Amino acid sequence: MLDQKVADLLNDQINKEMYSAYLYLDFANFYAYKGLNGYANWYNIQAKEEMDHAVGILQYLQDNDYQVTLQAIDKPDKELTHLDDPLKYGLEHEKYVTSLIHIIYDAAYEVKDYRTMKFLDWYVSEQGEEEKMHLIY
Ligand code: OFO
Which whole-number Å values give the CA distances from 131 to 90, 111, 124, in the listed order? 8, 28, 11
User: 23 with 42: CB under 8 angstroms?
Assistant: no
| Residue ranges making up the domain that contains 17 | 4-67+78-133
Percent of the chain with pLDDT over 70: 99
How high is the pLDDT of residue 14?
A: 98
d(CA 46, CA 57): 17
Q: Looking at ligand 1, which residue's alpha carbon is closest to its atom 3?
A: 50
Number of domains the chain contains: 1
Dihedral sign from CA coordinates of 45, 48, 54, 56: negative
Q: Looking at the domain assignment, is residue 8 inside a domain? A: yes
Binding-site residues, ligand 1, Cβ < 6 A: 17, 20, 50, 53, 94, 97, 123, 126-127, 130
**Residue 34: pLDDT above 70?**
yes
Q: Which of 128, 107, 97, 90 is nearest to 16 (CA)?
A: 97
Ligand 1 pocket test target in 73, 99, 127, 132 with most atoms within 8 Å of CB? 127
Instruction: Calculate the average pLDDT of the chain.
Output: 96
CATH number of the domain that residue 26 is part of: 1.20.1260.10
- Torsions phi, psi of 72, nearest 5? -65, 145
**Residue 21: pLDDT above 90?**
yes
How high is the pLDDT of residue 137?
A: 53
Q: Looking at the domain assignment, is residue 38 inside a domain? A: yes
Percent of the chain with pLDDT over 90: 91
d(CA 66, CA 35): 44
Q: Looking at the domain assignment, is residue 73 inside a domain? A: no
What is the average per-residue pLDDT within 93-105? 97
Segment 41-80, tens digit of pLDDT:
999 999 999 999 999 999 999 999 999 999 999 999 999 9
Q: Looking at ligand 1, which residue's alpha carbon is closest to its atom 1?
A: 94
